Amino acid sequence: MEHTAGYRIVDFDEVAGVVCPCGMAHRAFADVPEFPATVHRTVVTGDAKPHYHRTLTETYYILQCESGARMQLDDQLVPVRPGTCVMIPPGVVHRAVGRMTVLIFVLPKFDPADEVLV
């Protein structure tokens, strides 16, 4: 991550990946105290594991996905395509269904202890 004159630049290809219930996440800005969120580029290679967060709100922006990709939101399966944006408040059970690459904005900053598998 480059840091110059108060702004930050992240190249997600240079951020180490972390295995998560969705697949492989590359998480940015966790170390920036003045930024209230984290931003993740997550690659879902198959069906993700259903989970929810106690306090975190996640916003998924679908960058790319296979035909027929969906998001499970509680008991509903919602079709998604590139350009779809889904805001997921705390307590909503969710998962990605199908292969996709997603940009996820997490508020407040991501905390793995807040992630509950169902």
What pLDDT does residue 114 have?
97
What pLDDT does residue 3 have?
60
**Sequence-ordered strand ranges (E) for 55-114:** 57-65, 70-73, 76-79, 85-88, 94-97, 100-107
Domain architecture of the chain: domains with CATH: 2-117 (2.60.120.10)
pLDDT in tens, 57-114: 999 999 999 999 999 999 999 999 999 999 999 999 999 999 999 999 999 999 999 9
